[in-house]
Structures are given as C-alpha cells and as structure tokens.
Amino acid sequence: MTQLGFPLSLLMATLLAAQVTSPVAVAEDVLLADFEASNYGDWQTTGTAFSDAPAEGTLPGQMDVSGYQGKRLVNSFAGGDRSVGTLTSPAFEISRDYIHFLIGGGGFAGKTCMQLIVDGKVVREATGPNTVSGGSETLAPDFWDARPWQGQTAHIVIVDSATGGWGHINVDQIVLSDRRPATRAFDREFIVDQDYLLIPIRNGAAKVKLEVSVNGKAVRRYDTELATDPNQVDWFAFFNLSEFRGQPASLSVSRATEEGFAAIRTSNEVPAMAVGRDEPQRPQLHFSQWVGWINDPNGMVYLDGEWHLYFQHNPVGWAWGNMTWGHAVSTDLVHWEQLPNCLFPGTMAKGACFSGGAVVDKQNTAGWKSGSNDVLVAFLTDTGAGESVVYSNDNGRTFTWYNDNPIVEHKGRDPKVVWFRYREQDTPLDQTASDLGGHWVMAVYDEDDQHGQNTSFHTSTDLKQWTFQSRLAGYFECPELFELAIDGSTDRSKWVTFAADGRYALGSFDGRTFTPSHEGKHQLHYGNFYASQTFENAPDGRRIQIGWLRGVEFKGEAFNQAFSIPNVLTLKTTGAGPRIFAAPVQEIERLRIKTNTLADQPLPSGKPAAVPVSGELFDITATFEIGDAKQVGLDIGGNRVVYDVSTGTWNGAKTLPTDDRVSLRVLVDRSLIEIWGNGGEVVISGARNTRGMVSEIKAFADGGSATLIDLQAHELKSIWKQSTN
C-alpha cells in the first residue's frame, strides 16, 4: 500500500497510461542555415578562405566533395589550403536542446572547426575528420548538446586558420532541434580479457573517430566506417590487444547508434580467420592481408631465418586510409604468416605511418642493441612530422620510437635506407665511418618549388644524424637504390634507382651522388605493378622485389588489393646495353603438384593446340617459333596472353624475338595473373579478368602459321593451405 491509500500496481498502471495517452509534444526544428542562397546573407566573412558566397560543391583542385544537402555549402577551400578566414553567423537564441549540422574537411581543433559562442566564450566545437594525407571530403552528420545554454543568445563561427594539408573546413545544414540525434558519442570501460576487439564495418557509412586507451594511454586511434545497424555489417575489422591482456582499457566512438556501439566487442576469434583464406576471390599464390586495405610493401628485410614483409595497411577500412604498418613473415618467400600490426597512426606516430624501408644494424651503429639479436631498424614517413626511425630488439615484432624523431624534415616521404660499402676509390664520410667500412644512405622522395620532384640522398654513420648530399631530378614517391652485378660478374656492376612507377635508371653511385649512365629511363614492369621494394640483407645475395598490384579490387570481400609474386632481379647484357630481367623466386616451384606438357606442335592459323589441365592455379611456360604468324600466344580459360608481331609486344609490353622465337611464363592465380615475357625482359601484372576453373590451355597462332616448341602447364597448390596461419 502507498501513503495515498491505493495499490502501487494501480498507481503505476495509471502513470503508464498517462504517458501513452498524453505524449509530450516535440517542437518543430528551426533551420539556422542551409547556405542555398547565392550569398551568405547576414553571415559575415573575414579573409579569403570562404570567398564571398557558398560554394557549389567541389572547388578547383579539391577532391570530390559529397554528403552536403542541396546545391551549395560552406567550403573554405577557396584559393586552396593556404587561404584563411572566418565565417560568423548573426546572433540567435538557443531555443532547442540540440544543434545538428553536417561537417567535413580538416580535423584541426581551433583551426579548421565550427564553434558555438555564448557570452564571448567557445562552449562547443566540432571539426572534420582529416589531419593527414588521403581521407575523404564527405560531410558527415554531427551535433552539439546545447541544453546547458537554453534561452541564451549565441552565434556560430566557422574557422579556417590552417594553411597546410587539410587546411579547410566544410559545413552545411545547421538546424536547432529537440530531437536527440540517432547517433551520438559513446564510451565504455572494460578489462582486456580476450585477444581481439571486433569492429563491425559497413562500407560507405559515415566515418567516425574510434579510440582505444589502455591504462589511460591511447593505443589505437582510427577513423572508420562503423556499422550503425548490427544486421547490416559487411565485415569485421579487428585490433589485436593480446599484449594488453588483464589491463584496464576504454573505448570511445565519436558517433554511433546504441546498437552499433554495443556490437563492438572483445573476442578470442576473428570472423575472417574462420574462413581460412578461402574466400571466392582470395589470391592463393600471392600474399594478401586478412581484412582491410593494403598498398605499398614496406620495410622488406631478412633477419634470422625470416623474410619480413611490412606493408601499408588500413585495418579498419576497405579503402585507403589510416596508414598503419602491417606485418607478415615467411621462411621461404611463398608461405606467409601475418603477425599483429606494429606501427600505428596517431598514437605512435604523430600522423599516419607512411612508407619506408628497413635494415639490420649488424654493427650496432645506432647503439640500440639491448640483447643478443641484431637490431632491426625501420624508417617511415610520419605525416606532418617528417622521416622517422624506429627499432626492434625482438626480431621485428615490436618497435621502439626514437625520441628525437623526425630525423629528416622536408616535404617528401618514403625513406629507403641502404648500407654503402667503401671501395678503394671511395672517400669515407669521417674516421668513424671508415672504421666501419662504409656508411648509411637514405634515398627519399623530395619536392620543392626550385627542384620539383626528385630523389634526394642523405648520409649517416649512426642512423640518427643525417646529412643531405645530392638529388636526382625526375622521380616521384617510393624510391629504391641498390647494386646489381652484370651477368653475374664479381667485378662488373651497375647501381639501380627507380621510384613507384618502376621505371629505372642504371648508373654509378659513390655513396653521395647517383650518376646515370644513359638518357631517360628503362622499363621492366607493366600493368598494375606499383610502389615496389626489394629485400635488404638477403642471405644468398639475391635482389628480391615485391610490388603492390595497384587497382586490383576485391569487391564484396573483407580485404582489398594484393601484392605481386616475389621477383628475383638480375642485370643482363642485351643488344641495347645492360637491362634488368625478372623471374619468380625459385621457391614457387615447390607448389607444383602435376605437370602437363605439349611439344613440337604446328600451329596453323586459327587452329589452336590444347593441353588438358584441371584447376585454377598454374605455373605455365611456353616457347613459340613465330614463322609467318602475326600473333601467337596462350588462351588460359578465356585469359589471352598474346605476342603481337607488328608491335613486338607481349600484351602491350615491348620485347623483341630472339632467332624468330618468343617465350613466356605465366602464373595464374584465382583472381590475378602475372606474365614474364622473353625470359623476364618484361613483366605484366594485373587482374585475371575471366576467373574460375580451367580445363584446358590452348596455344594458338593467328594470321599465319607458327610452331609451339614447348608448353609446360604445372598445376599448383595454394600457399594458404600450407601456411601456419
């Protein structure tokens, strides 16, 4: 009984009935600004960043802007990122609980932002999501809780005082509302009691800021397309938190639904791993990551029986962004084990962890050795800071950030470091370097108004202090530098340099300056091959290269992009002078399980010869005598590899016959195909356009007769079914 003298149950029923039958009326929204007029009206501008009127979408030189409403929006990219200014609203009364808006662009607090001003003070602020290269110009919904200032007079100031990358702000559709937004900020605390934090991803969803802290320190900080509906999840990203087991942690998300935030959970299993790398499009011969995006291979180095392959990785997105260093190791260059990510944006680096190389500091020149293992030292571009160095005393599993980073400050990126060994004619940098028998060289992409795009060369004796020496004009990102013997000679060699496009120059290098021995550049790789790197410290002296197969997408899968088969590079004498040749690493032959052959077959025009096969993974070699044919080649399950006599090309790559003969080698993967023409004088890499099982391989000639000298079609097994993953 209550003090009122009737049952509590009856009281509750009455109150509930009153709530149902007498809903509280919600006031209509108040539109503060939609920026659809041809001018700003009563809004006041300073500076030049906002021009004198709202923008009609994307401005010159800007990435595509999306996510705004109507035809116009506030866009401070007028004049580019260097322009600055403010845009201030007229005074208004805060008559609703919340202020809703769309916002994008730069993410710099106080510099690229929108501020709510009450009594001359900033009481709320919002920014876009972007602080480093890349990102998206998409505006996303955001809001302020304005209840503490209900009834007071306020105004809004949109600020652009930043002049570097992402030095602009985009805003649209500012609305006063009593409706609580469907998405809002969430946070929770937890104990790390399982290895992984699973994050539900919806491709194309509005990006949110997600942060994980352990013991009060941020350890993961990412922008990601968090799924708002647990029933509409494309795939699960994951953070490996095993190193923090048993420790207190916190999770915060800038915008989410209650259901979406609740779907972020810890687990000892990752959904992608349960598939066992057997998704419909998953490459079975080429390395690919568990989930997310990859691009440039990084830090390629051999140490203590392992080939280390680090790589540019977005672990929480199917598209480019959040540049992290992923990590995989192999003992044979064929089977790969993916290890936990090791270099993280925003928490280890100041910005994103862009590309770079790695070395083994055998002589401990930096003094970082703390155990019995040789130190693995990696170099990367910390966006917004410069070239930075990290080091590992546990065989490359974890890294320590050098306190005095950056080691080189400039506008470039992608440092590749090599050891230059002194010879009799070389002049040492100093006595210390002479004692060591050489010095370190950094080849790094650089750019400025005076010299344009170039590779610059810096030297060091301790991996910490670097001195600029020279530059080589005409090279873009991801530089490479190494020496190759000519025809395997012990006393004849050339130095090689190239950048992301793989077009290379041969020449001499004295430890300070690269001097090309010819005009222009030569070309080995064609197709989707980009941003390659070669392994340092190879135990057998081989120069082994892996490239990013840029632009080969795997739509509908949890992963995107892949890497090439490792190539062994050699320098051979040709009629045109020395040229680089490539061949798949010999270890790939261990995957052969059956060989099908065809030899000495006449090929009349239009009448192919076929060899029966079974499967979708093949290593194929073939040699043709051209005769009077206009074209010869192979048809591999609908994928045609053609030598065109009139142009002298294998699938567009120029290479001439030898004694009326042409040859090729083809590696056919589930979704990729790579071709080595005429002994590896050219390499063509890309997507396998016609996929599926193959029952026969046809050799053909068109426009005349030719002869198939030899065809060997080796059926292969998958690398993943042999892996330790």
Q: What is the rounded CA–CA span in Å between residue 72 and residue 33?
A: 11
Q: Which residues partner with 458 through β-bridges?
A: 442, 468
Helix (H, G, I), strand (E, B) or coil at 613: strand
**How far are the Cα atoms of 532, 620, 648, 657, 680 from residue 654, in angstroms, in the given order?**
21, 20, 6, 10, 12
Say how far residue 466 (Cα) sits from the centre of its chain: 27
Instruction: State which H helix or E strand residue 235 sits in.
Output: strand 235-240
Tokens representing 561 are: 């992009």
Are 128 and 141 in contact by the 8 Å Cβ rule? The answer is: no
Instruction: Pick the closest to residue 494 from 573, 571, 416, 576 (CA basis).
Output: 571
Instruction: Please identify which of the residues 296, 382, 414, 635 carries the catalytic annotation.
Output: 296
User: In terms of Cα–Cα distance, which of 261, 102, 264 is closest to 186?
Assistant: 261
463 is written with which tokens? 């991996």
Phi first, then psi, for residue 94 (nearest 5°) are -80, 95
> How many Å apart are CA 356 and CA 390, to the nearest integer?
11
Round to whole Å and give the CA distance between 481 and 508. Answer: 11
Residue 562 makes CB contacts below 8 A (sequence gap 6+) with: 283, 286, 287, 288, 294, 549, 552, 554, 671, 672
611 in Cβ contact with 696 (< 8 Å): yes
Give 720's Cβ-side CA count (13 Å radius).
Answer: 19
Whether 296 is a known active-site residue: answer: yes
H helix count then E strand count, the chain: 4, 54
Sheet containing 493-498: order of strands: 480-485, 493-498, 504-509, 514-516
β pairing state of 248-256 and 358-361: unpaired
Phi, psi torsion values for 435, nearest 5 degrees: -60, -35
One DSSP character per residue, 80-134 reads: -TT--EEEEPPPEE--SSEEEEEEEEB--TTTEEEEEEETTEEEEEEE-SB-SSS
SS3 261: helix
Give me the amino acid identity at 630: K
- Calpha distance 401→374 (Å, rounded): 17
Give me 25's structure tokens.
Answer: 């009326």
Structure tokens at 436: 């060591």
Burial 706-717 (b: 16+ CB within 10 A, else e): bbbbebbbbbbb
Distance CA 317, CA 309 (A): 20
For residues 428 and 425, what is the distance between their CA atoms, to the nearest angstrom? 10
How far CA 511 is from CA of 363, 428, 461, 483, 538, in Å, comes to 18, 9, 12, 12, 20
The answer to whether the beta carbons of residues 598 and 724 sit under 8 Å apart is: no
Q: Strand 306-314 vs strand 217-224: parallel, antiparallel, or unpaired?
A: unpaired
Instruction: Record the tokens describing residue 591, joined without a space.
Output: 């995957």
497 within 8 A of 514, measured Cβ to Cβ:
yes
3-state secondary structure of 411: coil
Closest CA to 597 of 708, 718, 716, 702: 708
The catalytic site residues sit at 296
